[in-house]
């Protein structure tokens, strides 16, 4: 599979899908508090998608070697790194949870995720979530024509590791368009000047998974999906879909409720 470059019509389709994905996260935000189950979050998101006229890209999604994914979104709590399946266990005060939403609208995919703090959380958990958000933006702000994917990965890795965290290697960002996962792979670690060169019209996700402890991960249980930290340390992730423009980047998964970029982005 090769990289697809989006024309103006494709870019507009991606803008619409991206904004709708972010608006699902806006809708569920006030509901995420102690006592709610991740299954209920999934139900609320499915209702929101039905009203939008979008469909979930994850429900029934089945890459080779995996069972069909059984929910409309992914909910990864505490030491779950990614692909957590919503369940009946209530969230409790002090939990952190990543909610990852991908919607399809008119054949275009919009993919984004956010971290949520459940009630009052520890200083360490808060710091991990905040600095993972910053790490994502360290990658995003490098995006422009002529830059290489390795430059993005290097910026994220250097920032995360300089703050005492580790970067998960087994999962990465990806190209996206009329296909959920397309080329290129977007690693969150790397060497400057390596891998594909960015060109206008490319659309891909930047979605670093950052661990408070070691970077090693493992499969949890036998559901075929859930990935956890090997050392049981907390993990956080944020995700945006970005477009390479003629002069820089455009974040396609912004909505009224999106957290603002960190101050260093506007100062850059």
The verdict on pTM exceeding 0.85 is yes
Q: What is the 3-state secondary structure (H, E, C) of the chain?
A: CCCCCCCHHHHHHHHHHHHHHHHHHHHHHHHCCCCCEHHHHHHHHHHHHHHHCCEECCCCCCCCCCCCCCCCCEEEECCEEECCCCCCCECCCCCEEEEEEEEEECCEEEEEEEEEECCCCCHHHHHHHHHHHHHHHHHHCCCCCCCEHHHHHHHHHHHHHHCCCEECCCCCEEECCCCCCEEEEECCCCCCCCCCECCCCCEEEECCEEECCCCCEEECCCCCCCEEECCCCCEEECEEEEEECCCCEEECCCCCCCCCCCHHHHHC
In the chain, % of residues over pLDDT 90: 97
Higher pLDDT, 267 or 67: 67
Q: Is the pLDDT of residue 268 over 60?
A: no
Class of domain 8-267: alpha beta
Task: Spell 108-120 as b/e; 16+ CB within 10 A means b.
Answer: bbbbbbbbbbbee
- Any idea which residue has 């994905």 for tokens? 21
CA distance 158 to 132: 12
pLDDT digits (tens, 9 = 90+) for 24-58: 999 999 999 999 999 999 999 999 999 999 999 99
Q: How many CA atoms lie within 13 A of 200 on its CB side?
A: 6
Locate the domains of the chain by residue range: 8-267
Q: Give the pLDDT band of residue 221 (cuts 50, 70, 90).
A: confident
Peptide bond into 104 cis (omega under 30): no
Tokens matching residue 250 = 């455009």
């Amino acid at each position: 599979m090769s990289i697809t470059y989006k024309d103006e019509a494709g870019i507009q389709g991606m803008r619409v899908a991206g904004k709708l994905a972010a608006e699902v996260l806006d809708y569920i935000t006030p509901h995420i508090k102690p006592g709610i189950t991740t299954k209920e979050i999934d139900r609320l998101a499915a209702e929101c998608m039905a009203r939008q006229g979008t469909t979930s890209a994850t429900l029934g999604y089945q890459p080779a070697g995996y069972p069909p994914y059984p929910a409309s979104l992914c909910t990864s709590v505490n030491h779950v790194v990614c692909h957590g399946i919503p369940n009946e266990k209530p969230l409790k005060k002090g939990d952190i949870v990543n909610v990852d939403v991908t919607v399809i609208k008119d054949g275009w995919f919009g993919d984004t995720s956010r971290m949520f703090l459940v009630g009052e959380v520890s200083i360490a958990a808060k710091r991990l979530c905040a600095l993972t958000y910053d790490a994502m933006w360290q990658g995003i702000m490098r995006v422009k024509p002529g830059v290489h994917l390795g430059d993005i990965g290097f910026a994220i890795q250097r920032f995360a590791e300089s703050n005492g965290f580790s970067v998960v290697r087994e999962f990465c960002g990806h190209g996206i368009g009329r296909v959920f996962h397309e080329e290129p792979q977007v690693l969150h670690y790397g060497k400057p000047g390596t891998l594909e060169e960015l060109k206008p019209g490319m659309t891909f996700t930047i979605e670093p998974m950052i661990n408070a402890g070691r970077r090693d991960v493992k499969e949890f249980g036998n559901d075929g999906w859930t990935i956890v930290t090997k050392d049981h340390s907390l993990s956080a992730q944020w995700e945006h879909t970005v477009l390479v423009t003629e002069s820089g980047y455009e974040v396609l998964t912004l909505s009224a409720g999106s957290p603002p970029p960190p101050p260093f982005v506007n100062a850059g």
